[in-house]
Amino acid sequence: MTRPAALRSFDRAATFLALIFALGLLAELVRSSLAGGVAREILIGLPGLLWVAAPSLVAAAFVGASSTRAGAGAFLALEIALILSVIAQLLWGGPLGLMFLPLLQAGAILLVFLGALALGWRMRPDFLRD
């Protein structure tokens, strides 16, 4: 079963945002590690980078799993909100807040997912076969 073109554009946007976000986090990690003069902090920071990026990657996966434009749009909006919350925390928050932010974001994903299920959202049947 082929994916409709309208839904593929949502998939591409979600994938592009997730890729740019992950690369931006990696660039910030490398910049801050090299500015501090300790290059080995890059390796230490990689698990933290995955921890911070994981909720937005999950939201991007939900965009791909959506079988309707409304569902894909809702999860794309959630992905954008999650990315913006991380950016806001990086700019104005502290490292402690950044450490616990993915827990709050997981709660937001769960709430949006349950709301979408209540409104009739269903995963497309061929999603797990792709």
Q: Which residue has the higher pLDDT, 29 or 3?
A: 29
What is residue 130's predicted lDDT score, i.e. its pLDDT? 60
What is residue 95's predicted lDDT score, i.e. its pLDDT? 83
**DSSP characters for 39-80?**
TTHHHHHHHHHHHHHHHHHHHHHHHHHBSSHHHHHHHHHHHH
**pLDDT tens-digit map of 47-103:** 999 999 999 999 999 999 999 999 999 999 999 999 999 999 999 988 889 999 999
Give the domain ranges of the chain. 5-119
pTM attached to this predicted model: 0.93
